[in-house]
Structure formats: structure tokens, C-alpha cells
Amino acid sequence: MNTSDSGASPVAGKTVLITGGTSGIGAATARLLLMRGHRVAVTGRDPGRLKTFLDEVGHPDRVLGLVADASDWDSTNTAVTSTVERFGSLDAAIANAGIASADHFRTGSDGVIDGGDPELWAPMVLTNVLGPALLAKAALPHLEQSRGRLVLIGSVAGIKNSPGNLYSATKWAVVGFAENLRLHATTRGIGVTVVNPGMIDTAFWHGQVPPIAMRPDSVAEAIGFALDQPAGVDLNTVTIRPIGQPV
């Protein structure tokens, strides 16, 4: 544990795996947890983006970068086992990797079902819906040993309907899966938290960030709060929006 960093958490020294940790919410969470003295493994599909993140974030003794596709079982399982091999245990796994296909940002009032491109939908559905299930399957045995926590990144789009929006439906699936998972995981001593961000200023928006969007650091703080819950306490749902968000 590195206690020389400022802002050290009272419960430092956990090992946390974050899928999609090279940008946006995942990267902000990785930075926060490293600053607090934790060990962090991050995944992403793009090796260049991963290298840029690792070069920038520092703490090479406590960070592990893994090229892995969250929608692929072998990649996900290997990411979990590599994290445990490198750091000795797993205390938390964060299913953060997620995308909205580009047609969600250019179809206007047609909505993605009428105006979108079905070729773009499969990677989104597999990453957003299958991905958290694959991570849970790979991580649960290790989290049972550590009495750890799974964090699923849902969305306000997963608790509010929007016309013809398939991304939103993938996030409804995440919110539903989080509760199904909680009912199972709690019998094994594992906590489950779903974090539902509102509009956050990240690359997710394909360059069309809403003016009211807030910085990803606030979502990272909410995730850190979930990870810092004392033994025996399960924090289940956090919804965090910028002030002024209309939905």
C-alpha cells in the first residue's frame, strides 16, 4: 500500500479490475483508486489507447493494463485471472465497458429503430448486456474469497424510457441483471452495486456532449464510495445526474 499519496482512503490496498478503463468514467475511477493506494487493472480493446492511459496514469507498481474485449468470454476470463496472478486477489470488479452505437447520435427524431444501422447494434448489445454477465461469471469465485463487490455501470437511460432507443434497453438489462445478481451474490458474501450515471462529459457522446454534462470524476467518487462500504453493508443503487438534467 502506498500511503504517501494525498487523499489516501481509510480502506486502502484493494485490488480492483475495471473493464473499459482507458477513457471516461473507467479512467477517472482508475485514477482515483490509484491515488487512494489501491491496485488497479484496466481493460480496453485498443492497444494504443491503453498505452496512452498507462503512460499518463503513473503508479506502474500498482497498475496493470490488459487488452481485452468485454464481450468475449476468453478475454474476460483471462483478464480476471491475470489480475489475480499479478496482485494475488480480487476485491472488486467494475463492469464499466459500454458504448452507444454511433447511429444513436445522428438519427434525430427518427430514433435508432427507424433511422439507425442494424450493423452497429450487435457490438453494443454484446458489450453492454453480455459483458457484465461474463465479468460476473469470471470474478465471482475470487470475490467470494475476498468477500468483495461487483459494480455494474448502468445509466439513467436504464431507469427512464426514451423513444425507439436500443442503447437505453441495454441499460435496462444491466439494471435488471444487477438485481438478479445481487439476489445470488449476497448468499456468497458478495456485494453488488449498480451505478446509474446521467449525462457525463466523455467520448461516449461521439463529440455531441450536452452542455450540462458533468465530469466523470464525480461518478468515480460514487464508485469509490461503494467500494469503501464496511463489511456487512451492501450499497445497491446509486443514481447520479448533473443538476439541470431534464430526464
* Cβ distance to ligand NAP smaller for residue 13 or 123: 123
CB of 187 to ligand NAP, least distance (A): 27
Q: Which residues contact 60 (CB under 8 A, 6 or more apart)?
A: 54
Is residue 79 a contact point for ligand NAP (CB under 6 A)? Answer: no
Is residue 166 a contact point for ligand NAP (CB under 6 A)? Answer: no
Phi-psi region of 189 (alpha: psi -120 to 50; beta: other; left: phi over 0): left
Q: Please pick, from the candidates 16, 69, 133, 192, the single residue that binds ligand NAP as defined by CB under 6 A.
A: 69
Q: Which residues contact 15 (CB under 8 A, 6 or more apart)?
A: 38, 39, 40, 41, 83, 84, 87, 88, 89, 90, 91, 92
Place of cell 459483458: 131
**Total binding residues for ligand NAP by CB under 6 A?**
29
How far is Cα 189 from Cα 74, in angstroms, rounded to an integer? 26
Is 193 a catalytic site residue? no
* Cβ distance to ligand NAP smaller for residue 49 or 160: 49
Q: Which of residues 28-47 bind ligand NAP (CB under 6 A)?
A: 43-46
* Cβ distance to ligand NAP smaller for residue 43 or 83: 43
CB of 29 to ligand NAP, least distance (A): 9
Q: Which three cell numbers stand for residue 100?
A: 452507444
Residue 141: count other Cβ atoms within 10 Å of its Cβ: 12
Question: Contact at 8 Å (CB) between 144 and 136?
Answer: no
The contact pattern for ligand NAP, residues 119-158, with x = CB under 6 A and - = no contact, is: --------x-------------------------x-x---
> Which residues partner with 214 through β-bridges?
200
* Cβ distance to ligand NAP smaller for residue 58 or 188: 58
CB of 170 to ligand NAP, least distance (A): 8
Distances in Å between the Cα of 240 and the Cα atoms of 136, 144, 169, 244 are 23, 28, 19, 12
Is residue 203 a contact point for ligand NAP (CB under 6 A)? Answer: yes
- Chain residues that interact with ligand NAP, rule: CB under 6 A: 19-20, 22-26, 43-46, 49, 69-71, 96-99, 127, 153, 155, 197, 199-200, 202-204, 216
Catalytic residues, by residue number, are 167
